[in-house]
Amino acid sequence: MTENFVFSGHDTVALAQKYGTPLYVMSEDILRANINRIKDAFESAGAVYDVNYAGKTFLNMGMCRIIESEGISLDVASGGELYTAVKSGFNPARICFHGSNKNQAELEMALGYKVGRIVIDSEWELERLQLLTEELEQPVKVLFRVSPGIEAHTHELIQTGKLDSKFGLPLSQAREIIGRTKEMNYVETAGIHCHIGSQIADEKPFLLASEVMLDLYKALLSDGLNLTEINLGGGFGIPYLKEDPSFDVTSYIPKMVDHMREMAEQREVPMPKIVVEPGRSVAAPAGITLYTVGTVKEIPGLKKYVSVDGGMADNPRPALYGADYDAVICNKPQDEALMEEVTVSGKACETDTLIKSIKLPSPQSGDTLAVLHTGAYNYSMASNYNRFRRPAVILLKGDQSAVLVERESFEDLVKNDRIPSWLED
C-alpha cells in the first residue's frame, strides 16, 4: 500500500479528510524547534539579547500562547495584532508595537496597554506620541526605526532598508530627530532599530547594517542619550524550493554577536543588547496548505492545468511577488516515471497561478495536494476575494491535531453587511 505524504508525523490525506480543504496546517513542534534554534545561537554566543517574533507573519491567539511560553517577545504592527496578543493573555511588557503609520487610536491603545516598546517610524509620529504622553502623564520607552541605506539582494518589493523607503527615519536625519527626546518628559529612547528587507540569504547586508547602526548608537550616546539596545530586525530567508539558498541563522548569530563586540570595543562603547525579529524563518517551514484537486485540463502541445479548491485568496504571494512554492501529491508516490510538468491554478476569477511549473505524479481530480512552506504570510494575507471563505487553521503537536482558527462560514461572509433603508423592500 502506498504511504501518504507525512508532515510533522501526520498523514496529510487523513488531515484533509478530517478537517476539509483548503486547509492551513501548522506544526507546533516545528515552530518551537525554529524558535529554540535562534535562542540557542544567542546563548552559545553569550549575548544579552531578545527575540521579537514578527507577528505579521502568522498570528492568532494560539500562536501568542506558543510565543509567550517560549519566553520570547512579540512584535505587532497594528491595533488588530496588538488586540489579539492582549486578548490571548500575552504580557504587554513583552510587546513591541511597530508600524509605519500608526493612528491616534493605535498609539492610545499601545499606551493604554502599557506595551514594552513603541517603534517610532517618523518625525510626525514622535510629535504625536509626545503630545499623548504629556496629556496622560505616562512614560513610554521607544526605539527609532532608521533606514540605514542598505539594499539587500531580494525582491524589490520587500527591500525596506533603502534610503528611498516609506519606513523609518533617513540616516541623515536620525541623529537630530532622536536627540529631541532628551528634552521630553515622558518619551525615553531605549534604542534604535532597522530592518533591511525580507527573504535575505546573504549575511553581508546584515553585518553591514550592524556597523551602520553601531556608529549611530555611538553618536547618540555621545549626545547624552542613554541607549541600551539595537534591534537589527529580521528578514532571514528560507528555501522555498530545493535549489534555493538557505540562511543559516545558527551560523550568523554568533558571527554577528562577535562582530558587534569587536566594533563596540573599537568604538569604546558598551556592548548593546541585541534584538532580532524573525518571522518567516520561524513560521514558513512549520506550515503547509492542503488542497483538493478539481479540474485537470490539458491543452494539447501546450500545457496541463491542475486546478485546486483554493488559490490567491488563501495565498496571494505568487500574485504579489511572483513567489515560488514546491508541492506534492499527498496520496501518490513521487515516482519519476509518473511525473509530468503542470501548472497549478487556483479557482479565483483571475489568472490565479499558484505554481507556474512543477512536476507532479499524474495529478487527477480528487487528489490531495500539499503546497509546502506556507506557514508565513499565507493565513495572515488571506482575503475573501470572490467571497471565498478563509480556510481553517489546524495545529499539530506530537500525535495530536486541533483547530486553531475555525473555517469561515457563509454566514461569516455577510454578518457585517448592511442594507441601507432605501434598498429595503
Residues labelled as active-site residues: 349
400: left (phi over 0), alpha (psi -120 to 50) or beta: beta
Helical H runs in 268-342? Answer: 280-283, 317-321
139 annotated to a ligand binding site: no
* Residue 301 backbone class (left: φ over 0; alpha: ψ -120 to 50; beta: rest): left
CA–CA separation, 202 vs 8, rounded Å? 28
User: What is the rounded CA–CA span in Å between residue 99 and residue 61?
Assistant: 20
Rounded to the nearest 5 degrees, what angle is found at the Cα of 290, between the Cα atoms of 285 and 296?
A: 130
The verdict on whether residue 239 carries a ligand-binding annotation is no
Report the distance separating Cα 245 and Cα 50, nearest Å: 26
Alpha-carbon gap, residue 376 to 57, rounded angstroms: 5
- Is 186 annotated as a binding-site member? no
Please tell me whether 279 is known to bind a ligand: yes
What are the grid coordinates assigned to 422, written together? 432605501
Cβ(172)–Cβ(164) below 8 Å: no
235 is in an annotated binding site: yes
Cα dihedral sign for 411, 414, 419, 425?
negative
Distance from C-alpha of 166 to C-alpha of 169, rounded to nearest angstrom: 9
Specify the amino acid at residue 338: L
Annotated binding residue at 280?
yes
The CB density around residue 364, as the number of other CB atoms within 10 Å, is 12
Please give the Cα distance from 52 to 193 (Å, whole number).
12
User: In this structure, which amino acid lies at residue 171?
Assistant: L
Is the bond preceding residue 22 a cis peptide, omega within 30 degrees? yes
- 317 is known to lie in a ligand binding site: yes
Is 278 among the annotated ligand-binding positions? yes
- Binding site for substrate, by residue number, is 280, 317, 321, 350, 377
- Binding site for pyridoxal 5'-phosphate, by residue number, is 235, 277-280, 377
- Binding site, by residue number, is 235, 277-280, 317, 321, 350, 377
